[in-house]
Chains A and B, each alone.
Chain A
Amino acid sequence: MDDANTDVIQGTLDMLILKTLSLEPMHGFGIARRIEQTSRGVFKVNPGSLLTALQRLERGGWLDAEWRETENSRRARFYRLTRAGRRRLDEETADWTRRVSAVTRLLRSEG
Chain B
Amino acid sequence: MGVFRQFARGLRALFRGSAADADIADEAQQYVDEAIAAHVARGLTREAAVRAARLELGGAAAIAEEVRGYGWEHLVSTPWSDLRFAARRLRSEPGFTAVSVITLALGIGATTAIFSAVDPILFASLPYPRPDRIVAIAEIMRDGFRNGGTFAIYREFAERVRAFDAVAVYKPWQPTITGAAEPERLEGQRVSAAFFHVLGVAPIVGRDLQPADDRAAGPNVAIISDALWRRRFNADPAVVGRPITLDDTSFTVVGVMSAAFENVLAPRAELWAPLQYDMSQGRAWGHHLRTIARLQPGADVKAAMADVNSLGRAFTAGHPAEYGRTDFMVSTLHDDVTRGVKPALLVILGAVALVLVIACVNVTNLLLARGVQRRAEFALRAALGASRGRLIRQLLTESLLVAALGGAAGMGVAAVGVRALVALSPPSLPRAGAIAVDATVFAFGFVVTTAIALAFGAIPALQASKSDPHRDLQHGWRRGSGGHYRTRRALVVAEVALALVLLVGSGLLLRSLERLFAVDAGFDPSGLLTMQVQINGHRFDDYRASYRFFERALDAVRGVPGVTAVALTSQLPMSGDRDEYGAHFEATPAREALTYNVFRYAVSPGYLEAMRVPLRQGRLFDDHDRAGAPLVAIVSESLARRRFGNGSAIGARFRIGPTDGPPYTIVGVVGDVKQVSLALEAADAVYIPASADGATIRSGPWRFADTTMSLVVRAGGDATALAPAIRQAVWSVDKDQPIVRVAALDALVAASAAERRFALVLFEAFALAALLLAAAGIYGVLAGSVAERTREIGVRSALGASRSDILALVVGQGMKLTGAGIAIGLVCAIGASGAVAAMLFGISRLDPITYAGVIGLLTLVAVVACSVPAWRAVRVDPATTLRAE
Q: Please give the residue numbers on chain A whose beta carbons come within 8 Å of chain B beta carbons, in ascending order.
A: 27-30, 32-33, 47-49, 51-52, 55-56, 58-62, 72, 74-77, 84
Contact = CB atoms under 8 A, between A and B. Distances in A.
A52 B67 CA distance: 5
B34 A27 contact: yes
B34 A51 contact: no
8 contacts: A30-B34, A47-B58, A48-B62, A52-B69, A59-B71, A61-B5, A75-B30, A76-B30
B31 A29 contact: yes
Interface in B84-124: none
A56 B30 contact: no
Nearest to B72: A59
B160 to A, nearest CB: 86
Most B CB within 10 A of own CB, among A62, A76, A84: A76
Contacts of B67: 48, 51-52, 55
B66 A59 contact: no
B63 A51 contact: yes
A48 B30 CA distance: 13
B66 A52 contact: yes
Nearest to B28: A51
A60 B63 CA distance: 21
Instruction: Classify chain B: how many residues form its interface, as a range.
Output: 20 to 34
Contacts of B58: 47-48
Would you list the 4 A-B pairs with minimal beta carbon distance, nearest first? A48-B66, A29-B34, A61-B2, A61-B1
A47 B28 contact: yes
Contact of A59 (B9, B31, B32, B35): B9
Given A29-B31, A52-B66, A84-B1, 20 more contacts: A27-B30, A27-B31, A29-B30, A29-B38, A32-B31, A47-B57, A51-B24, A51-B28, A51-B63, A52-B67, A55-B70, A59-B5, A60-B2, A61-B1, A61-B2, A75-B30, A76-B30, A77-B23, A77-B26, A77-B27
Contacts of B5: 58-61
Given A48-B66, A59-B2, A60-B5, A77 B71 contact: no
Most A CB within 10 A of own CB, among B2, B35, B62, B70: B70
Interface string B28-43: 1011111101100000
Contacts of B57: 47
Contacts of A32: 31
B281 interface: no
Contacts of A51: 24, 27-28, 31, 63, 66-67
A28 B1 contact: no
B20 to A, nearest CB: 10
A28 B71 contact: no
Nearest to B10: A59
Contact of B35 (A29, A49, A77): A29
B30 A28 contact: yes
Nearest to A48: B66
Contacts of B35: 29
Contacts of A49: 66
Given A33-B38, A47-B57, A52-B70, A59 B30 contact: no
Contacts of A29: 30-31, 34-35, 38
Interface in B466-496: none
A55 B142 CA distance: 90
B6 interface: yes
B23 to A, nearest CB: 8
Nearest to A33: B38
Contacts of B23: 77
A95 B2 CA distance: 22
